[in-house]
Amino acid sequence: MSDREHDHGTGLSRREFLGFTAAGAAGTALVPASLLSRQAHAAGKSKYEVAPGELDEYYGFWSGGHSGEIRVLGIPSMRELMRIPVFNRDSATGWGQTNESKRILGESARFQNGDTHHVHMSYTDGTYDGRYLFVNDKANTRIARIRCDIMKTDKVITIPNVAAIHGLRLQKVPKTGYVLCCAEFRIPHPNDGRFLDEPDKYHTMLTAVDADTMEIKWQIIVDGNLDNVDTDYTGKYAAATCYNSEGGVTLPEMMKADRDWTVVFNIPRIEEAVRQGKYTTIGDSKVPVVDGRGKNNPYTLYVPTPKSPHGVNMSPDGKYFISNGKLSPTCTVISVDLIDKWFAGKLKDPRDVVVAEPELGLGPLHTTFDGRGYAYTTLFIDSQVVKWSIADAIRAYRGEKVDYIRQKLDVHYQPGHLKASMAETKEADGKWAVSLCKFSKDRFLPVGVLRAENDQLIDISGEKMKLVHDGPTFPEPHDAIIVHRSKVHPRKVWRRDDPYFAETVAMAKRHGVVLERDNKVIREGNKVYVYMTSVAPNYGLKEFRVKKGDEVTVVVTNLDKIEDLTHGFCIVNYGINMEIGPQQTSSVTFVADQPGVHWYYCTWFCHALHLEMRGRMLVEP
């Protein structure tokens, strides 16, 4: 049999196949994707297919909703690549259990749940820079920052004076200075029990957090309930949808008005007010709080917007904020140039900043863009995505007879957020959009009462939208962004000087331990420190001995340098498990409250003898 006749299904000769396999085993280049997919290309592969061995063009970062996590998908394959624990406890990686993760979670580690809604990447000069992701926790009024080089959460803070962070967006220029957070629920200030039954004393705020230090810089009180927020491309403005202009606390009370607001925040003026001391503080918090209430406020512009507006999105050309009506069939297009004129005192009516209000369909929630002048809006009640021309909508608002709607595409069912590739940057490229649909009935095999939701991939590169993929997803992702892979550069192996485990390294130095070499047990009274290395398929310690009641800290350093060679450390019947990636140090602290023999073992498949990678914790009575 010739070499070419036996090609292992790759399109390579046997010699090529074995040669590339040997190179991979030696730690050098793996088989190129172009070679692995030769047959697929020869057969005329669809542009929607990402063949085995090929890489996706985009990263998709999904909020995980009430799972409290972030999910990473490949686009256009829609393959789930990884989950990043943020506000949740994750038994696979040990997030929420390891000492490193507990330090990051801080005092909020006591919460066992989270509710992530809006995930966004940091910017430089109006486009993604691949440094950080930021995400909110509506359930416990927190925000978190995720390092994109290691895809791990590195900061979590709780926002004071407010309840339920919902909308979250970042400044886009010159780079991300502020993370701007909308607190949705109105509460008294201070919320100490004195004003339980006085809703007229309930308020909420927009909060500005420094993206680099994660320090809270200022807050501004508003009328109504804040929902979503977005920022412009000058660094001057943020705009937030704001419902419940009635100030109600029940559903009927919050539904009376035909119009609520889109609130525009003048960031330089707020900063100047803080510099001049024109602020107050609330309770024990030292955060400056500026008053942004009232129609003639120097810091805010309340644009009347129909009705219970939900999403607000900035067009990639930087010209317009588009607010989505939710309980109105319309979107409201607000001109940034006219906002300038308003704050300069050249306009009298807040509605003068509106340049279009296209009627799109029932339940418009969120809008995204293709960079070619078209907007795409989800219609929750109609279960559709509508493509429309911004320029034609403006012409129609001026009285011209022009049809601004280009297409309506059925999706399944009840779409919420809609995101197009790079659409929240000045580099919107109009290739793909994903509709995050809340219901999936009849689309997938039934799996019981709780059903998957449905993320649908849409090709928007041509004149007509084309639905090309259904993707079941565990409930409930709220939002997503699609980032070109050129913007993201994750590491494959940890750096030994990474600040992520710097405090554990400092502890080892105090004990005179060299983590990369030493395997030893140190006792300080009833506190026991167990240091060990791991190299597949062995731990540096085959056993360690403690006494019942000891507080035990186990520190494991993975000395393997090979990409993807992760170890785990699990103690049977102790509820302990943690991930230790290549060149990473991880630690966990617990009380040895069960005497006897307790095996520890590796939980991440690492070697042919992975099953034998284990040791004993011996707990004396």
pLDDT of amino acid 256: 87
- Name residues whose C-beta falls within 8 Å of residue 374's C-beta, 6 or more positions apart in sequence: 387, 388, 389, 390, 406, 430
Residue 163: half-sphere exposure toward Cβ, Cα within 13 Å? 10
Q: Binning pLDDT at 50, 70 and 90, where does residue 45 land?
A: low
Q: By C-alpha distance, which of 294, 367, 379 is closest to 332?
A: 367
pLDDT of amino acid 95: 98
Mean pLDDT of 84-113: 96
What is the Cα–Cα distance from 308 to 394, expressed in whole angstroms?
22
- pLDDT digit string, tens, across residues 508-520: 999 999 999 999 9
Give the sign of the dihedral formed by CA 93, CA 94, CA 96, CA 98. Answer: negative
Mean pLDDT of 55-67: 97
Mean pLDDT of 51-76: 96
497-to-84, 494, 506 alpha-carbon distances in Å: 22, 9, 11
Q: By C-alpha distance, which of 385, 387, 386, 430 is closest to 412?
A: 385
Residue 470 bridge partners (DSSP)? 456
What is 499-620's CATH superfamily? Cupredoxins -  blue copper proteins (2.60.40.420)
Is residue 19 predicted with pLDDT exceeding 50?
no
What is the Cα–Cα distance from 323 to 367, expressed in whole angstroms?
8
605-to-22, 565, 569, 572 alpha-carbon distances in Å: 21, 8, 12, 17
What is the Cα–Cα distance from 381 to 378, expressed in whole angstroms?
9
Phi, psi of 254 (to 5 degrees): -90, 5
What is the Cα–Cα distance from 103 to 384, expressed in whole angstroms?
44
CA of residue 48 relative to chain centroid, distance: 25
Mean pLDDT of 77-81: 96
pLDDT of amino acid 44: 57
Residue 337's SS3 state is helix
Is residue 418 predicted with pLDDT exceeding 90?
yes
Is residue 29 predicted with pLDDT exceeding 80?
no
Q: Binning pLDDT at 50, 70 and 90, where does residue 31 land?
A: very low
Q: Binning pLDDT at 50, 70 and 90, where does residue 39 land?
A: very low
Is residue 36 predicted with pLDDT exceeding 80?
no
What is the Cα–Cα distance from 385 to 180, expressed in whole angstroms?
28
Query: CB–CB of 76/63 below 8 Å?
Result: no
Domain ranges of the chain: 1-54, 499-620
- pLDDT digit string, tens, across residues 575-601: 999 999 999 999 999 999 999 999 999
- pLDDT digit string, tens, across residues 359-416: 999 999 999 999 999 999 999 999 999 999 999 999 999 999 999 999 999 999 999 9
Residue 220 bridge partners (DSSP)? 206, 290
pLDDT of amino acid 46: 76
β-pairing, 320-324 with 585-591?
Answer: unpaired
pLDDT of amino acid 295: 86
User: What value does the mean pLDDT of the chain take?
Assistant: 93
- pLDDT digit string, tens, across residues 434-446: 999 999 999 999 9
Give percent above pLDDT 90 in the chain. Answer: 89
Q: What is the pTM of this model?
A: 0.92
Is residue 3 predicted with pLDDT exceeding 80?
no
Query: CB–CB of 144/155 below 8 Å?
Result: yes
Mean pLDDT of 537-551: 98
Query: CB–CB of 116/135 below 8 Å?
Result: yes
- pLDDT digit string, tens, across residues 233-281: 999 999 999 999 999 999 988 888 889 999 999 999 999 999 999 999 9
Is residue 184 predicted with pLDDT exceeding 80?
yes
219-to-209, 280, 292, 443, 611 alpha-carbon distances in Å: 9, 10, 9, 44, 54
